[in-house]
Structure 1
Amino acid sequence: MSKNYTEIVTHLTQLMREMHKGIPQTMAGFVQLADKAKAGGAIDAKTKELIAVAISIAQRCDGCIGFHTRGAVKLGASREEMMETIGVAVMMGGGPSTVYGAYALEAFDQFNAAK
């Protein structure tokens, strides 16, 4: 079964808009946290997105894989960088991370082809 990460991200974005309407202060706080955490500093923004991809794989979160892989692609991550990120996630998450690592690679290829 192939997953379409563009569709996953689009669908979740629509759902999250509804959450923003229902809990605007909470969601605004989360957006601010995410923006600050992902901003470049001692660690550049691309590396932070790749870290988020690794955590997404280890946590087995399809939506997180989609959002953070798309972010990594937008910031210029290479396929080789994605492969090494997947390797770290597999080390940290064991067998289930091999499955979600494959999904993250699928997401990378989809977003990279679309840019």
Structure 2
Amino acid sequence: MDWKDYLANTTKFTKDFRKAQPDVGKAFTDMHRAVLHDGALSVKHKELQAIVVGIVTHCADCIGFHLQGAVRAGATRAELEETIATCILMGGGPAYMYGMKALEAYDQLVGEGEG
């Protein structure tokens, strides 16, 4: 999968939907902002948790977008690998396969071996 193209396509459809349903788009954005700030948990840890949800629910878009957020918040590839290991523990084979999608996304969006 080409993650940059994949996420760009999702972004296009999201923008189109927000034009058609601005109240829903605004509400989702407001909720996103209300959650993703440093509190008892850091933004980095919240983004890693969001990746977990993306992996176990098989949401590639969630994986990609929250991976970008986690990296912006300082997450490393090693932290992603440990996050994926926890997903595999709790989610078995499907989590393993979607965890590999998360690593592929990291390598394409951030760079292999960085972090």
Q: Provide TM-score, normalisation by structure 2.
A: 0.92
Report the Cα offset of residue 76 of structure 1: 1.6
CA RMSD of superposed structures (Å): 1.5
Deviation at 1:7, TM superposition (A): 1.2
User: What are the ranges of 5 or more consecutive residues in structure 1 without an aligned counterpart?
Assistant: none
Partner of 1:45: 43
1:73 lines up with 2:71 in the alignment = yes
Deviations 1:67-113 (A, max 9, x none): 00111111121111000110111122221010000000111111212
Percent of aligned pairs with the same residue? 36
| Structure with more relative contact order (C-alpha pairs < 8 Å, separation 6 or more) | 1
Runs (4+) of structure 1 exceeding 2 A deviation are: none
1:63 Cα deviation after fit: 0.7
Q: TM-score, normalised on structure 1?
A: 0.92
* 2-structure distance, mates of 1:111, 1:72: 12
Gaps of 5+ in 2: none
